[in-house]
Amino acid sequence: MIPYGRQHITEEDISAVTEALKSDFLTQGPKIAEFEKAFAEYIGSKYAVAVSNGTAALHLCALALNVNEQTRVITSPITFAASANCVRYCGGEVHFADIDPKTYLLDLNKVRALLEKHPKGYFHGIIPVDFAGNAVNMEAYRKLADEFGCWIIEDACHAPGGFFTGSDSKKYFCGDSNFADLAIFSFHPVKHIACGEGGMITTNNEVLYKKLILLRTHGITKDPGLMHKNDGGWYYEMQDLGYNYRLTDFQAALGISQLLRADAGLIRRREIAQTYFDAFKTNTKIKGQSGVVEGHAYHLYIIETEKRKELYDHLRSKDIFCQVHYIPVHTLPYYQALGWKQGDVTNAEKYYSSCLSLPMYPTLSNEEQQFVIDCINDFLNA
Ligand SMILES: *Cc1c(COP(=O)(O)O)cnc(C)c1O
């Protein structure tokens, strides 16, 4: 069976987890800080906060930015629902702007048009997504956000190691928080770095960082420097309404070990992308191929074809399990109940009708990939 994505666990990973299990700490111990430091270094951000999963990371970001019933936020409909749900957890209103049909990323011009339709201050935040691993130009988004007084949460779940080139010709890595206020990652097994479950928030903002640390553990602090008084060694203060969104030490140990192979994984993903591109570039039945993109982290390799459903079913019959990313979030029944309907975000809906994510993970062998390619070309050219 060939899935669309899968984790890669080595003997080194297993020893790292075993060692952590034999230590004194199961939940938050020294491995958490070590993972945070290594991840922040890898991404190029000042701070990193490890949490229980990517959804928790999004929720904490929304809380740290004071999202509430009066808050309106713009995001992409072509993402995992959690990118939008984090606003709803806090009672805020989600607005979906359309995607660019070439990059599948939230279209900056569509976001601008939406912002300009309302008085300044109507919208409070933007959540762009580095969809499929393709880096959003955060510099452009920062400019736009500043014009309208919005914050930015970058959903970088698909793109650790991805980058765009700034106007100063420098590389800016996804989640480095040079432009976004906060960025989030997931360590779900299909993502680049697997912890089982796990997530990370990165930021360069010290105030937000301190807030996130507090919110991750019930809003409770034992730091004498932060407490209003100190009754003794047992004393702690709950200063805000937080959650238990902690990562365990043995998951962090796995994350640290996986991070060591992150660059090798990226190289392999780009190789696989190049092979797909070369194999399909002359196939007129396959649309949506723009060549291998610089800085793309290739969490997904997506093709578009009018015979999507037929191709999906055919590949299933060959034990190739492709996937569709994503059903547009605004068409999900929960968001329809909030007033969104089919036809509201047209590029996203058109994309959804033809997209298919092909197997893409570092341990996909050349033979397996060739089998996938042959099955697709044979079926579409038959
Ligand atoms: C995976 C993912 C999430 C959620 O992460 P979990 O760790 O599964 O909670 C959020 N946004 C995007 C774009 C994702 O791919």
Question: Could you report the per-residue pLDDT of 328-347, keeping only the tens digit for each?
Answer: 999 999 999 999 999 999 99
Query: 38 exposed, middle or buried (CB, 10 Å; 0-12, 13-18, 19+)?
Result: middle
Q: Which atom of ligand 1 sits closest to the CA of residue 82? A: 10
Q: Which residues of 300-317 are buried (b: 16+ CB within 10 A; e: fewer)?
A: bbbbbbeebeebbebbee
Q: How far is CA 252 from the centre of its chain?
A: 18
Q: What is the DSSP letter of 100?
A: P
pLDDT of residue 382: 86
Residue nearest to atom 7 of ligand 1 (CA): 54
Name the region of 104 (left: φ>0; alpha: ψ -120 to 50; beta: rest).
left
**Residues 150-190: tens digit of each pLDDT:** 999 999 999 999 999 999 999 999 999 999 999 999 999 99
**Ligand 1 center to 326 CA (angstroms):** 12
Residues 280 and 381: their CA atoms lie apart, in Å, by 11
Q: Cα–Cα–Cα angle for 257, 8, 276, nearest 5°? A: 125
CB of 345 within 8 A of CB of 106?
A: no
DSSP letter at 356 equals: E
Name the H helices within 148-261: 206-216, 249-259
Measured by CA distance, the residue closest to atom 15 of ligand 1 is 157
**Helix or strand or coil: residue 164?**
strand
DSSP H helices, 217-320, are 249-259, 262-280, 308-317
Residue 146 neighbours by CB distance under 10 Å: 11
Mutation test of ligand 1: which of 4, 76, 157, 323 has the most ligand atoms closer than 8 Å to its C-beta? Answer: 157
Ligand 1 atom closest to residue 83's alpha carbon, by position in its atom list: 11
Pocket test residue of 52, 60, 80 for ligand 1, highest count of atoms within 8 A of CB = 80
**Predicted confidence band of residue 269 (pLDDT cuts 50, 70, 90):** very high
Q: List alpha helices for 183-261, DSSP H.
A: 206-216, 249-259
CA distance 337 to 46: 40
- Ligand 1 pocket test, pick from 85, 136, 186, 190 with the greatest ligand atom count within 8 Å of Cβ, gives 186
Quickly list H helices, the chain.
Answer: 11-22, 30-43, 54-64, 82-89, 108-116, 138-147, 206-216, 249-259, 262-280, 308-317, 333-337, 346-354, 366-381
Q: Is the pLDDT of residue 120 over 90?
A: yes
Architecture of domain 2-259: 3-Layer(aba) Sandwich (3.40)
pLDDT at 108: 98
Pocket of ligand 1 (CB under 6 A): 53-55, 79-80, 82-83, 129, 155, 157-158, 186, 188, 199
Return d(Cα 287, Cα 304) in angstroms, integer: 5
Closest atom, ligand 1, to C-alpha of 299:
15
- The ranges assigned to domains in the chain are 2-259, 262-380
Ligand 1: residue whose CA is nearest its atom 4: 54
What is the position in ligand 1's atom list of the atom closest to the CA of 197?
A: 7
Q: How many Å apart are CA 43 and CA 47, to the nearest integer?
A: 10
Question: Can you give the pLDDT at residue 281?
Answer: 93
Q: At the top level of CATH, which class does the domain 262-380 belong to? A: alpha beta
Output phi, psi for 175, to 5 deg. Answer: 85, 5
For the CA of 53, the closest atom of ligand 1 is 7
Q: How confident is the model at residue 290 (pLDDT cuts 50, 70, 90)?
A: confident
pLDDT at 139 over 80: yes
Spatial separation of the C-alpha atoms in residues 160 and 42, rounded to whole Å: 9
Shortest-distance atom of ligand 1 to CA 191: 1
Please state, in angstroms and rounded to a whole number, the distance separating the CA atoms of residues 273 and 263.
Answer: 15
Q: What is the pLDDT of residue 307?
A: 97
pLDDT above 90: residue 5: yes
Give the model's pLDDT for residue 289: 74
